[in-house]
A = this chain, B = another copy of it.
């Protein structure tokens, strides 16, 4: 028997219209690409979003068409998010830090029809426009007066929307329709496209509004440092509209000084970003003597939160940190840290380690760990296995049917993470499947060895990789990037590792290197290191 409730599709356009109707006067602040400041509100944002939607339709964008962005976090980018999805087209966010050739490849693969970009990225566009035959229109996010000269044939955003109506009857359609396309960072093989739907986006934004997850409300001011090209801003742009939060969009101002100023000036209460961003703010505050009172939570994702950063924020700045776990394929919210009920939070030393877990499973996301043969492993907090995930905001496949080996026959997504699941839904990431080192039939967690090495004050970064070994199959090998001007003794680094890891995890050799190679999202390119050091002789080194 069917229920008798309204069959209303979950639509992204409902988010922006809700924000306009109920939270119309709530502000959106942007540090613009030229570093001027721009403030308007959800009401004005919705009006301009409708203009853009009408203009895009007029210019020939049809349902299912892809519209790419190469842009900072700013108000026009928000309008693009809502307008493109709202008319049933697909917003494809591109990471500007990628190699221009890879960007051109992505635009071709996605068959983008329009590309909308900030002036900062004009040189990229000039370099690739004649390599992108699918693109009909290049649009820079300025008005006509401030539009730079380009080799490429470029229209400006304000001229595009100028004559368009700010009224629209948003189309309503199947909620499973694609709304956004985001490519994985692609540390192995070509990047693969994850195609979000209206349903997955709205459900994910609802979960983000849970008190235990991000938990923003109409009285919050959310600083979205996480880029809009990175997994749809972790959903912050959607959930902010849903709950009527004020948004602070830092544009190119990602340094500690700029962010600290915005936190102060705009009254930020919640903020989300990767550890390096938080480190930048912390260092700035320590140097300048600024303070950042009023922030009630800093969300950390993208890469693991270190104990030193956690302590710096919680004990020194008085800002609670919350670690979350997710990936492009999980929209990304899969787990968010909340203390265990009854935990004595006044006992900082007794609870701090627990906070370094990747988070606690969010309703909607199911998880399981399996061994190499796909057999389920116990959730005892000790056993590590390949992490599988499932849920209404988890990918079921990649764009154009690629990478189908990432999905099991019974409907799970292989995250590529190695994890331990604790009995109460807590998730502990111990490694990446491709980075885990298999020594004598047992697994060595490259991440744990790296973290332990980083406990040495003169180690800036470390990469632990497995090198081939006759007897043990693989043995750990550590590449250390020292703090500039320092040379930590290998014996001291070994002591740090022995303090936290099993003795047989100790790397057979340690080498120094000025700069570890990083990918476009700031992750160490271990694949490149494995290639470089393939013939390194572990027996001779130490």
Binding site for B on A (CB under 8 A): 1-8, 10, 14-15, 18, 21-26, 63-64, 90, 174, 176-179, 194-200, 203, 206-207, 209-212, 215-219, 242-244, 246, 331, 338-339, 341, 360-361, 363-364, 366, 390-399, 411, 413, 423-425
Contacts and interface: CB of A to CB of B under 8 A. Distances in A.
Given A4-B194, A210-B242, A211-B211, 11 more contacts: A3-B177, A4-B397, A4-B398, A5-B196, A6-B411, A7-B392, A18-B363, A203-B206, A206-B207, A210-B243, A212-B244
Indicate how many identical chains form the complex: 2
B176 A24 contact: no
Contacts of A216: 211
A242 B206 CA distance: 12
Contact of A243 (B200, B211, B244): B211
A527 B364 CA distance: 46
Nearest to A210: B209
Please give me the 9 A-B residue pairs with the lowest Cβ-Cβ distance, nearest first: A3-B197, A22-B425, A1-B64, A5-B200, A212-B217, A3-B178, A211-B217, A4-B195, A8-B392
Contacts of A397: 4
Given A215-B211, A217-B211, A341-B26, A6 B179 contact: no
22 contacts: A1-B177, A1-B195, A2-B177, A3-B176, A3-B177, A3-B178, A3-B179, A3-B196, A4-B178, A4-B396, A4-B399, A5-B392, A6-B391, A6-B392, A7-B392, A18-B366, A24-B423, A203-B206, A206-B207, A209-B209, A210-B217, A212-B244
Given A4-B399, A390-B6, A360 B218 contact: yes
Nearest to A426: B22
Contacts of A218: 212, 338, 341, 360
Contact of A363 (B211, B242, B390): B242
Contacts of A26: 341
B5 A195 contact: yes
Given A341-B218, A363-B242, A395 B211 contact: no
Contacts of A219: 338-339, 341
A218 B215 CA distance: 13
Nearest to A400: B4
Contacts of A395: 4-6
Contacts of A14: 363-364
Given A219-B338, A243-B363, A23 B424 contact: yes
Nearest to A180: B3
A424 B22 contact: yes
Contact of A391 (B8, B197, B391): B8
Nearest to A341: B219
Contacts of A209: 209-211
A206 B205 CA distance: 10
Contacts of A217: 210-212, 215, 338
A40 B186 CA distance: 47
A176 B175 CA distance: 14
